[in-house]
Amino acid sequence: MSNQRVLISISASVSLFIGIGFGVLMGWYSGPDRVPNSYDRARKAPDEMVSTALLNEMNEESIREILRQLTRNPHVAGTPQNFELAKDIEADWKAYGFETTMHTYHVLLSFPSTKQGENNTVQILSPNGTAVFTSQLYEERLDDISREKSADILPPFNAYSAAGIFTGDLMYVNYARVEDFQELESLGYNLTGRIAIARYGKIFRGDKAKFAAQYGALGLILYSDPADYAKSDGPIETYPNGIFLPGSGTQRGSCMDGNGDPLTQVYPSVASAYRLPVEESTMLPTIPIHPIGYDDAAQLLSKMEGDEVPRAWRGDLNLTYRYGPGFGDTFKNMTVKMAVYTKNQMADIWNVIGVIRGAIEPDRYVLIGNHRDAWAFGAMDPGSGSAAMLEISRAMSVQMMNGWRPRRSIMFCSWGGEEHGLIGSTEWVEEFAKILGVRAVAYLNLDSAIYGTYVPDIGATPNLNTLIYDAAKKIPNPDPTHENGEETLYDTWKARQRPTVPAEEDPTIVTLGSGSDFRPFLQIAGISVIDFVYTYDNVKTPIASYPTYHSVYETFYLVDELYPNAFKYILAAGRLYAEILRRLSDDIVLPLDVVGYATAVEGYWASLRDGDIGSEMAAGGISFDYMDSAISNFSSAAEKFNTRLEQLDTNDILAVRRMNDQLMYLERSFIDPMGLTGRPTTKHVVFAPSSKNAYAGEKFAAIVDAMFDIANNPDPKKWDLVEKELSIVTYLVQSAANLLEPDKRVC
């Protein structure tokens, strides 16, 4: 071939490559018949009638039937029942016309032993070793479904508990928080060689186990006190007559210290992955942990000796709460024996992904997800959220049949292994982090759609707040009483947050911590996220969580019969997310608010700087000048960006794409690639889970953690870490400001 022909061939190939690349960007990928209209379609505003049609298509009865189907069997992660449910969802999405894939990960899960005689128990032993009390092996079967499916229901256990048999004196440690153990130490109590008993609530159970081990406990017994799970200013009717937890009710749950497969932390559990030996994983508890019901807890606590605990440490059991150690009176020479046979084993989990391919920007993804696995029937967690998400997918498929297709791609995600430690979502994000980092717009998380039926509890990154408020104003008030004339979800949300929120302000959207599948999207990939649940009136019902949380009593009957109008509220949650999903996937300009983000970050910094932590930092010689400058620069850049956005010519499709990229990538600016100190998979420097409670969100967590260490161990060398953490946050806030510039010079 001559040089001329080679050059012609290369030139043609380059031209073809450029043409194809630009064609994908403009939506030409779908065929030559669409080429002539591609520019016009890219400029066309979304059809607002789709919003009305989408919301009207969704209905209570459909959600009710979906939930009934989801709760036919227990479906713990890694079990055949969970796989069957995954296949059912996959089949539905295929029937809707979605592009559907199932991702399988082989990971370390945890289950109770199935061997004869290896039952997890707590016993009181007499001096001759005879058991005078043994905790219940199963929760009482109080309904038809738990009796019918008893063979498939796992007994109460704490996943990843260390196995072992230990005997010792019992000590009551309240909620097993750091401050509880510090108070015990200040009173002269030593937990070393003893078994701790703590009530659920306040912090993540895995943190309770970690702190108990750090303070020397041989093992940890957890129980749900009526003060936290059966308390109200009205009548307290326990399941099956009411929503409150009965005495045998037991909270299952994972105690893993971290998220994702504990053998492949940071990297995905794909076939080629290197897996740590189990004994080398730093994410697994080092002591036995076992949950019991409050009837059994009363048998233990009522026999304890020692000083009475203060009012703040007392629950609502009809007994005198004492520290211990050990038992008094006729039980004085008796001890507690813990026998835990829980086993960690490799098993498969399954994520199902259903995609509506975008018509204009298929390479931009808006994701919505809910986990599928449950500790038993899971009607609240995750069934209520699953039903809402699946109803959204059904309603969107109807709009597709009517000719609608969103501008950007929508991904529906059904996660596996969430309850064991956000495993399915974490492994998927780790596997596809590079793709998600350049293509994902936002992730909408639905775990439980309802804890109660009183008021929304919403967490989000601040750039989504305005969108959430706008969408909430379009959703009808689900409360059928309309007691104060509120017409929309927004109206009741605002009214029922008073008096904590001034009347002239929008309702509060909280800071996100962890505990659900939004975590890897925010903390690993730097993707903006939302999390939503309808909750109870915590003034009238001051409880730790919804009462039957993670127990066998989370049944279809509970939602259908004991939570009045529950499906109206699940429908409202689904409609809110459907509208947010539609806007994010269909608006020409992404509805993300950079000024709102900058204002929020400025407020968080002012609160830290001007509060107790800031005062201590200043007294330690820490300068705030550079951070103040970065915050100011971020606010200024956001205002200028917003001005340019208001002046944007939406007919200029490349200008739109450029500004949308800046809107989308802003969240990535706050990601520290090294991770927060000691937490390699926690990378967001503005929002992160608290090191003292993984469920709670903390602002500037790395700085707060470093100052907490100084407060507990005032080593002068630790101030170097404070300076380092402030320097990193300063750099990344300034990076956010740089990203919003129209054409930031880098040379």
55-89 as b/e: b if 16+ CB within 10 A:
bebbebebbbebbeebbebbbbbbbebbbebbebb
Q: Which of these is catalytic: 118, 295, 661, 723? A: 661
Q: Which of these is catalytic: 11, 607, 623, 727? A: 623
Q: Is 623 a catalytic residue?
A: yes
Residue 19 phi/psi, 5-degree rounding, is -60, -45
Indicate the pairing of strand 408-415 with strand 361-371: parallel
HSE, CB side, 13 Å, CA atoms: give it for residue 493.
28
What sign does the dihedral 463-467-468-473 (CA atoms) show? positive
Here the tokens at position 633 are 């620069």
Residue 10 phi/psi, 5-degree rounding, is -65, -45
DSSP string, 451-499: S-SSEEEEEE-GGGHHHHHHHHTTSBP--TT-TT---BHHHHHHHHHTT
CB atoms within 10 A of CB 662: 18
Start-to-end CA span in the chain (Å) = 43
Say if CB 289 and CB 342 are below 8 A apart. Answer: no
Q: What is the maximal distance between C-alpha atoms in the chain? A: 104
Say if CB 707 and CB 693 are below 8 A apart. Answer: no
569-602 as b/e: b if 16+ CB within 10 A:
bbbbbbbbbbbbbbbbbbbbebbbbbbbbbbbbb
Q: Which of these is catalytic: 430, 516, 684, 698? A: 684
Say if CB 249 and CB 139 are below 8 A apart. Answer: yes
Q: Is 667 a catalytic residue?
A: no
Here the tokens at position 542 are 């001051």
Say if CB 80 and CB 88 are below 8 A apart. Answer: no
Q: Which residues contact 11 (CB under 8 A, 6 or more apart)?
A: none
Indicate the pairing of strand 99-111 with strand 528-535: unpaired
Say if CB 374 and CB 76 are below 8 A apart. Answer: yes
Residue 378 to residues 71, 153, 255, 560: CA-CA distances in angstroms?
A: 7, 12, 19, 13
Q: Which of these is catalytic: 183, 207, 418, 725? A: 418
Q: Is 248 a catalytic residue?
A: no
Task: Give the residue numbers marked as catalytic.
Answer: 418, 623, 661, 684
